[in-house]
Amino acid sequence: MPAKKSEKPAKKPKNRPVKDSRRQKPAWQQKIARERIAILFKEAEKQAKAGNLDLSNRYVQLARKIGMRYQIKIAKPLKRKFCKYCYSYLYPGLTCSQRVKDKSIIIKCFSCKKIIRYPFAKTGPKREKQAK
């Protein structure tokens, strides 16, 4: 009777962290990407002021693509400059309306007619005393 080859146990899959180092871009590339995103938002604002809404929306689209490609979160102040539903650049009075009501900023996008609410808390000397 021929001898059976010893069977090796099946390899267990390695538990890797969610953000694998092989997928993450180098720090210098991420830094350049952040700079490009900031520049694109500045250009989007210039174009919106000039009346070129298509071009400003394109700049926002490019900034989002760069952020996704290099796995960079867009900063909160920049994130509030575009509609989270249609991704068009939000310029108050031209592409959106802003209202302050009941401890929140209400933004209505003119292109998709959606309403976005950003809550905020009052800050000042009275508020700081209550927190202590």
- Quick: pLDDT tens for 58-75: 999 999 999 999 999 999
1 within a domain of the structure (yes/no): no
Q: Could you tell me the residue range of the domain that residue 81 belongs to?
A: 27-131
Model confidence pLDDT, tens digit, residues 90-122: 999 999 999 999 999 999 999 999 999 999 887
8 within a domain of the structure (yes/no): no
Kindly report the pTM of this predicted structure: 0.74
19 within a domain of the structure (yes/no): no
Q: Report the number of distinct structural domains present in the chain.
A: 1
Residue 98: both structure tokens together: 């802003």
Higher per-residue pLDDT: 115 or 15? 115
91 within a domain of the structure (yes/no): yes
75 within a domain of the structure (yes/no): yes
> What three-state secondary structure class fits 118?
strand
103 within a domain of the structure (yes/no): yes
Name, in order, each residue with C-beta under 8 angstroms of 43's C-beta and a sequence gap of 6 or more: 56, 59
DSSP label at 92? B
115 within a domain of the structure (yes/no): yes
